[in-house]
Amino acid sequence: MSKLKKKHTEGGGIRLLKHWKKGLFSVIFSRLGIILILLFIQISLIFLVWMYFDEVMESLSLNGRAVYYIISITFLVIALLILFNSPMDSAAKLSWMLLIAVFPLFGTIFYIWTQVEMGHRSIKHKLNILEKKGVKSLKQNTEVYKKLLNISPESGALSKYLFEIGNAPVYTNTETKYFPIGEDSFPYMCEAIEKAEKFIFIEYFIIEEGYMWGTILELLAKKVKQGVDVRVMYDGTCEFTTLPYYYPKRLESLGIKCQMWEPIKPVLTSAYNYRDHRKILVTDGKTAFSGGVNLADEYINHIERFGVWKDTSIMIKGSAVDSFTLMFLQMWNVKRHDDEDFTAFINLYDRNIKADGFIIPYCDSPLSDQKIAERVYMDILYTAKKYVYIMTPYLVLDDELTTSLCYAAQRGVDVRLILPGIPDKKAIWALSKNHYKRLLMDGVKVYEYTPGFIHAKTFLSDDNKAVVGSINLDYRSLYHHFECAAYMHGIQCIEDIKDDFSKTFAECKEVTFETIKKEKALMKMTGAILKLIAPLL
């Protein structure tokens, strides 16, 4: 491993593709610029119709104000009936009620538009088909489940829920390696890619040209020439900041199969709200990586953006790799019309691997009625006996998570949260800080990572349970993103996770009532205002 690490820290990769130019003019005079202009025109027309509704009615010899109020009240009543009878979080209901109260007609139309699944109904239908197909591909080993249930009834019960609701089996005999920072995982990722002989699946929220992606891209181009099936998938919002729209074609010119998840189009659709936030690398069905690390230079501290960028991830080898393989294949095939045989890519793991503990890779979808990601976090908090340690970059909590955190602390569990000392988004940082006082009042301890930015999404409890994945403690991750993670019980790397928390606490400053008092008034005001619309952000 040392030779590989040296190789990839000295070189940087051959630039197989010419960098695209970034900047304001490159955006304006591009496909993205045209699309943004068209979207702006559509939104402007909606506002103009709303603003000049009264004048339009008068031109038709109608009492515009009276007609407006009748329509507004009708829409308001409809929206309230739907809101109060929906399973939506109470904080989200209040945010929508505020919007509708201020803008009755526009707010109601906007709410209904977000609820009727316009733009993503076909995606939901295709995902349901692929999930049923996945059920046939992955089976739960009942002996493994019973063993976990016998060792830990709480984890066993959660395992039952994850399999029945999310088709996420529990596995044993899986090796795990925990990486406390992004640059530690990078050489292992490169090594796994170099060793691949059959397929390489890559699904990441962000890919950005630079040292990290350039190095990986060089390896992928090499593997394609060797006959390896290489597939790359990334979120369509990359078009705003990191990659041009035509980038998939550039990769295809190298023989790499590539697609964007929901690229931006000149049509208003609620599908834009649901982003692919997962981070998955699978090679040959034998090795998988997941966590918070994207494929961009700041994630491995090759460049500095917000001080030290602390991120965590895991590498797994063994039977549990099948679940990550299936996650990728399901997302990859949502927009494709061919019926791919999933069984050709699973059950390829090394059967000689023997390891203690249990692991459950799982995923969450915004198109599902089940909020799997949030319930896993809540289960850890409700079943904890001694402590729960959490790293998260954002803290935008709904009522249920707030209650879970506070109740755990109130019953004597040592609940600690680590958040960034240097933020990447100051507005969300202000919103996160808005939660501090309530949490401290109920006994939750809050820390800020002084060297820089925490991007890790890691839970640890009682020396035997942990979660590492892509799931933040905010509305976007828990309600609006496609996410993934791994729940671990008694697995060998939990000791490393605990050691990482101990070292990270030593680099943090603890938040107290005194430090909250010293916060700038603008920060407090920003957090208070944003909390009114937090579920809509």
Alpha carbon distance 537, 525 (integer Å)? 17
Encoded tokens for 234: 């990334």
Same domain flag for 263 and 346: yes
Same domain flag for 278 and 130: yes
Which of 160, 168, 173, 169 is CA-nearest to residue 141?
Answer: 169
Could you give the C-alpha distances from 524 to 24, 188, 477, 519, 532, in angstroms and in order?
32, 42, 24, 7, 13
Same domain flag for 392 and 523: yes
Question: Does 42 fall in a domain?
Answer: no
Could you give the C-alpha distances from 420 to 392, 428, 504, in angstroms and in order?
8, 11, 11
How does pLDDT run across 322-378, given as a tens digit for each residue? 999 999 999 999 988 778 889 999 999 999 998 999 999 999 998 888 899 999 999
Alpha carbon distance 405, 416 (integer Å)? 9
Among residues 99, 115, 131, the one where a domain terminates is 115
Alpha carbon distance 348, 319 (integer Å)? 8
Could you give the C-alpha distances from 418 to 184, 254, 449, 472, in angstroms and in order?
20, 42, 7, 12
Encoded tokens for 7: 């190789």
- pTM assigned to the model: 0.87
User: Do residues 190 and 4 lie in contact, with contact meaning Cβ atoms separated by under 8 Å?
Assistant: yes
How does pLDDT run across 196-247, given as a tens digit for each residue? 999 999 999 999 999 999 999 999 999 999 999 999 999 988 877 788 888 9
Q: Which long-range contacts (CB under 8 A, 24 or more apart) does 79-86 make?
A: 79/107, 79/108, 79/111, 79/112, 82/111, 82/112, 82/115, 83/111
* 465 φ/ψ angles, rounded to the nearest 5 degrees: -130, 140
Same domain flag for 82 and 185: no
Q: Residue-wise pLDDT tens for the chain (537 aa)?
A: 434 444 444 444 445 665 555 544 444 444 445 545 655 665 666 566 655 555 555 555 555 556 666 766 777 777 778 777 777 777 787 888 777 777 776 677 777 777 666 667 778 878 888 887 777 788 899 999 999 999 999 999 999 999 999 999 999 999 999 999 999 999 999 999 999 999 999 999 999 999 999 999 999 999 999 999 999 999 988 877 788 888 999 999 999 999 999 887 656 666 667 899 999 999 999 999 999 999 999 999 999 999 999 999 999 999 999 999 999 999 999 988 778 889 999 999 999 998 999 999 999 998 888 899 999 999 999 999 999 999 999 999 998 999 999 999 999 999 999 999 999 999 999 999 999 999 999 999 999 999 999 999 999 999 999 999 999 999 999 998 999 999 999 999 999 999 999 999 999 999 999 999 999 999 999 998 888 878 777
Same domain flag for 109 and 129: no
CATH number where 169 lies: 3.30.870.10
Same domain flag for 165 and 312: yes
Same domain flag for 341 and 406: no
* 513 φ/ψ angles, rounded to the nearest 5 degrees: -65, -30
Same domain flag for 189 and 128: yes
Question: Does 47 fall in a domain?
Answer: no
Among residues 316, 333, 364, the one where a domain terminates is 364
Among residues 76, 97, 115, the one where a domain terminates is 115
Same domain flag for 359 and 454: no
User: Amino acid identity of 173?
Assistant: N
Same domain flag for 168 and 301: yes
List the domain range (segments joined by +) for residue 270. 2-25+121-364
Question: Does 317 fall in a domain?
Answer: yes
Encoded tokens for 476: 């976007």
Count how many domains the chain has.
3
* 347 φ/ψ angles, rounded to the nearest 5 degrees: 60, 35
Question: Does 467 fall in a domain?
Answer: yes
Same domain flag for 259 and 392: no
Alpha carbon distance 421, 431 (integer Å)? 14
Encoded tokens for 27: 């955006």
Alpha carbon distance 16, 223 (integer Å)? 14
